Amino acid sequence: MNALERLRQWTTVVADTGDFNAMRSYAPRDATTNPSLIVKALQKPDYRSLVDETVAAHRDESVEQLCDRLLVRFGCEILSIVPGRVSTEVDARLSFDTEGTIAKAHALVALYEAAGIARDRVLIKVASTWEGIRAAERLENEGIRCNLTLLFSFPQAVACADAGVTLVSPFVGRIYDWYRQRSETDIPPEEDPGVRSVRRIYTYFKKFGYETEVMGASFRSIGQVLALAGCDLLTISPELLEQLRSSDQPVERRLDPALAKAQQVERERFDEKQFRFAVNEDAMASDKLSEGIRLFVADVRKLETIVSQVREAR
């Protein structure tokens, strides 16, 4: 077996791409996408027809509505390839708006259901702000599953699990980037703060019996990926998937629920005040969360520009 096949013995592999051909090549169970990945995919001529067709069919709708339709169109195409679920992201401009996030989630799920996609095949992707977590809690109670993204700290993870969300996506690579920039030296996987963050979250969830799944995200190397072998899910870019598929190196299981349950871990709780203070106290988490929201918003605006230009040209 190659390294990718060995990894799949213990971990569900998710494709971190909007490229349908890459998904077919690597056969992930799930896929995660967002405006950033769609904007990247739309640079390829093969995907521009999706924008043209969406705008042509709904030309009287607003740019915001057309973008929602395009996100869902990509999602439906993805679900024709993968057997599992697709994550679809709520507009990052709603990261501090609980009611707005819920309304957007309802709109996206309604579009999927109109296309014949059951809601259990969709994960609504929401930023791990206090407001986003509260929105996800209410959505989960309605049977709408959520993927909490832009997660950089343990308090965020605990609050998500206590809210009963389906899945959390700790960002390994972006945590690594923050510390790497300040140390100016490479950090080996065993010492990598991003890897350690996911291991801590995984151990805590398994120790206390949370059903919330842990999906490591935002990887910079296959070393980081393999250091988390055994994690519930890992969402991996096509470039790293190819490196794993081309490698015959051994893969050792690093995360195991039985071992996690045997760990000595204290139970923690965070109300709103404690949550905000804890995230603020963590310079890396507060920096990367605010930066991540800004970057996501920038890509939403890029997608809106593309859709607007197509609509004006018709």
Contact between 187 and 221 (Cβ < 8 Å): no
Q: Give the per-residue pLDDT at 48.
A: 85
Catalytic residue among 40, 44, 104, 125: 125
3.20.20.70, 3.60.15.10, 3.30.2020.30, 3.40.50.300: CATH of 3-313: 3.20.20.70
Model confidence pLDDT, tens digit, residues 29-64? 999 778 888 888 888 888 888 999 999 999 899 999
Model confidence pLDDT, tens digit, residues 177-215? 999 999 878 899 999 999 999 999 999 999 999 999 999
Contact between 296 and 35 (Cβ < 8 Å): yes
Q: What are phi and psi of 147, to 5 degrees?
A: -115, 115
125 is catalytic: yes
* Nearest C-alpha neighbor of 203 from the set 156, 160, 151, 266: 266
Name the token pair of 153.
């700290």
Model confidence pLDDT, tens digit, residues 66-101? 999 999 999 999 999 999 999 999 999 999 999 999
Contacting residues for 293 by C-beta, under 8 A, at least 6 apart? 92, 95, 127, 129, 150
Helix (H, G, I), strand (E, B) or coil at 160: helix
Alpha helix (H) residue ranges in 129-192: 130-141, 154-162, 172-183
Whole-model pTM: value is 0.95
The residues spanned by each domain of the chain are 3-313
